[in-house]
């Protein structure tokens, strides 16, 4: 369990115990009845965490239905055994009273299945709630990561071919307006092509003529800054 889960569990059980204690004080419940109530709450607590920490994480989300049913049976058997040892053995030894009279093994087990089922249902409900919140957070995180990946992918789509096509389109628009402007666009396109795809071969060498052409184009475009009315 995470620290946040532990905090929520502590708050929940504390509120539940306060509810029981306040009820006892208001209705002046006899001591013996209080003992039975505290004991069954304690045993349900054990049953709850057998389910929550052991059975459900191992079997519920993994679709292991037979093992899940077996785990529920183990949790219920633990509830029955611990309650028997507590109320019929320990209480009889220390307080000289016990809970059940004239019972058979079957009637005792069936009665405890009734009382113990609430702890199992509660554990499944709480575990499923926290698990759903966890899945929702993970899905949100995955969606955010997917969005970032899509944005990064879109950025990579601004590739050299896109730039060349765009410059060619700008050239077609510039040509009727200004020969100098159209020529500058062509030179810029050649420079970009050289920088992006032709500036170095596999062995790291460069073509001297292409390097000279690149420098000449660079100087030519740079000089346009100082010419008036080139467009």
Tell me the CB-side half-sphere exposure of residue 158, using CA atoms within 13 A: 5
What b/e sequence results for 132-158 when a residue is b if at least 16 CB atoms lie within 10 Å of its CB, and e otherwise? eeeeeeeeeeeeeeeeeeeeeeeeeee
State the average pLDDT over residues 159-166: 76
Burial class (CB in 10 A: 0-12, 13-18, 19+), 97: exposed
pLDDT of residue 205: 72
pLDDT of residue 123: 96
Taking the C-alpha atoms of residue 94 and residue 26, their distance in angstroms, rounded to an integer, is 28
The two tokens of residue 159 are: 């590739």
Output the average pLDDT for the chain: 87
Instruction: Provide the greatest CA pair distance for the chain.
Output: 113
Mean pLDDT computed over 43-68 = 93
Neighbours of 7 (CB within 10 A): 11
**Residue 156, pLDDT above cutoff 80:** no
Quote the tokens at residue 193: 């092509």
- What per-residue confidence (pLDDT) applies to 230? 46
* Separation CA 4–CA 12 (nearest Å): 12
Asked if residue 82 has pLDDT above 70, the reply is yes
Q: What number is the average pLDDT over the span 17-36? A: 91
Q: Is the distance from CB of 221 to CB of 187 less than 8 angstroms?
A: yes
Tokens of 127: 């575990």
Region 85-98: mean pLDDT is 88
Nearest by Cα to 193 from 155, 156, 219, 160 = 160
pLDDT band for position 155 (cuts 50, 70, 90): low
pLDDT value at 13 more than 80: yes
**Higher model confidence: residue 199 or residue 164?**
164
Q: What is the mean pLDDT of residues 121-138?
A: 94
> How far is residue 66 from each of residues 51, 63, 70, 111, measured CA to CA in Å?
15, 9, 6, 24
Answer with the residue of higher pLDDT: 12 or 228.
Answer: 12
* 178 has pLDDT over 80: yes
Q: Is the pLDDT of residue 223 over 80?
A: yes
Predicted local confidence at residue 231, as pLDDT:
46
Is 160 in contact with 193 (CB distance < 8 Å)?
yes
Yes or no: say if 83 and 43 are a contact pair by the CB < 8 Å rule: yes
Mean pLDDT for the stretch of residues 206-219: 85
User: Residue 202: its pLDDT value, please?
Assistant: 60
The least confident of 44-53, 60-69, 133-142, 171-180 is 171-180
Closest CA to 45 of 21, 18, 78: 78
Cβ neighbours of residue 214 under 8 Å, at least 6 residues apart?
190, 191, 194, 195, 199
**Least reliable range by pLDDT among 67-71, 166-170, 192-196:** 192-196
pLDDT band for position 66 (cuts 50, 70, 90) = very high
State both tokens at 67: 């093992």
């Amino acid at each position: 369990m995470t620290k946040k889960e532990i905090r929520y569990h502590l708050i929940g059980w504390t509120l539940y115990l306060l509810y029981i204690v306040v009820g006892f004080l208001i209705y002046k419940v006899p001591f013996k009845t209080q003992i039975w109530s505290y004991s069954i709450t304690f045993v349900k607590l054990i049953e709850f965490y057998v389910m929550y920490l052991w059975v459900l994480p191992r079997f519920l989300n993994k679709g292991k239905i037979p093992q899940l049913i077996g785990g529920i049976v183990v949790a219920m058997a633990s509830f029955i055994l611990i309650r028997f040892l507590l109320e019929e053995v320990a209480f009889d030894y220390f307080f000289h009273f016990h809970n059940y009279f004239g019972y058979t093994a079957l009637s005792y087990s069936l009665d405890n299945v009734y009382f113990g089922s609430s702890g199992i249902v509660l554990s499944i409900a709480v575990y499923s709630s926290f698990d759903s919140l966890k899945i929702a957070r993970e899905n949100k995180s995955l969606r955010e990561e997917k969005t970032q990946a899509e944005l990064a992918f879109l950025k990579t789509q601004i590739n050299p071919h896109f730039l060349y096509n765009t410059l060619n389109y700008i050239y077609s628009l510039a040509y009727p307006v200004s020969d100098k402007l159209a020529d500058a666009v062509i030179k810029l396109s050649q420079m970009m092509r050289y920088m992006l795809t032709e500036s170095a071969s596999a062995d790291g060498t460069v073509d001297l003529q292409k390097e000279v052409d690149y420098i000449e184009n660079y100087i030519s475009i740079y000089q346009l800054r100082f010419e008036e009315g080139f467009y």
